[in-house]
Amino acid sequence: MIENLLLCVGAQKSGTTWLHAQLKDHPEIGFSNVKEVHYFNTVHKGSVLLTRRKVNQLENILKNNRLGLERYFADLSAGKPVNKGIHKLLSPVDDQWYIDLFAGNKKKYAADFTPEYATLPDAGFDNFNNVCNNKKIIFIMRDPIERAKSAIRYFFETQNKNIDDISTEQLIKVASADFIISMSSYELTIRKLEQHFASDELLYLFFEDVMKNKQESLNKVTRFLGIADLGISSEQLEKKVNMTSKSFDFPKEIDDLLKTRLQKTYATLNFRFDRLPESWATID
């Protein structure tokens, strides 16, 4: 079992990479070798992202370290100690595989920042308890419409397509997709988090507040975790950690669609929190 597990469960395109960059060198937090493990969404949602990563790593070994792979199987057959990295790559993906990712971690927390965990089913959130004794969960929210637009731009970037060349019909199709809407439907994530975890295990942040007051927001995170504050330089705080997506003026149809689909999100969050960032859209 992992003693203390820190999970950042989203939202996607809401500053999780920035937060990871600030905390990755903290002496009390041990991260896996990749920011986004994708374990729980692989097991409970059938995500292919972890499998794809393992396949890419195996292809790299076959190309550059075939001898090491052959030695691994020879050692395995002989009952000798095997290459731990290759063994982890080829082991079945289950709870023990996940726990073993953090084997040898001497720090207070093991950490996994995977935004896609925001849309896990109940069984996925329950599974957190199967791998750790204690957990702390951070959920960062960005204006739901702006987050969705950022995700749409990113989607076409990953397809190597110029968003300026995309028709309104195509934009509407992507904007309507579940992977866009569900990641901005924060009320669904909050409801599940609060059904499965105690209030002192949860920290909610707003992306706009974090970007406006970076050091103060980091201090809020360290207080939540009960770890030392970090004296991070202003240069590090302001350093870009993601490529800036190309700006794009979305047609009115997209704004109207997102306002309609996310109206409940705005209403629920207005009721749930004392305040929302002033820059968030106002939905009547």
Residue 90 lies in a domain: no
pTM of the predicted structure, to 2 decimals: 0.90
Which pLDDT does position 154 carry in this prediction? Answer: 92
Residue 125 lies in a domain: yes
- Two tokens, residue 174: 């992507």
Residue 41 lies in a domain: no
Residue 148 lies in a domain: no
Residue 127 lies in a domain: yes
Residue 112 lies in a domain: yes
Which pLDDT does position 173 carry in this prediction? Answer: 96
Which pLDDT does position 66 carry in this prediction? Answer: 85
Residue 152 lies in a domain: no
Cα–Cα nearest to 102, from 79, 71, 133, 126: 133
Domain count, the chain: 1
Return d(Cα 46, Cα 57) in angstroms, integer.
20
CB 139 within 8 A of CB 118: yes
Residue 136 lies in a domain: yes
Which pLDDT does position 197 carry in this prediction? Answer: 97
Which pLDDT does position 95 carry in this prediction? Answer: 95
- Residue 109, domain extent: 2-32+102-142+187-240
Which pLDDT does position 77 carry in this prediction? Answer: 85
Which pLDDT does position 91 carry in this prediction? Answer: 80
The CATH code of the domain that includes 214 is 3.40.50.300
| Predicted confidence pLDDT, tens digits, the chain (284 residues) | 999 999 999 998 999 999 999 999 899 999 988 889 999 999 999 888 888 888 888 888 888 888 888 888 888 888 888 887 787 778 888 999 999 989 888 899 999 999 999 999 999 999 999 999 999 999 999 999 999 999 999 999 988 999 999 999 999 999 999 999 999 999 999 999 999 999 999 999 999 999 999 999 999 999 999 999 877 777 777 777 765 667 889 999 999 999 999 999 999 999 999 999 999 988 76
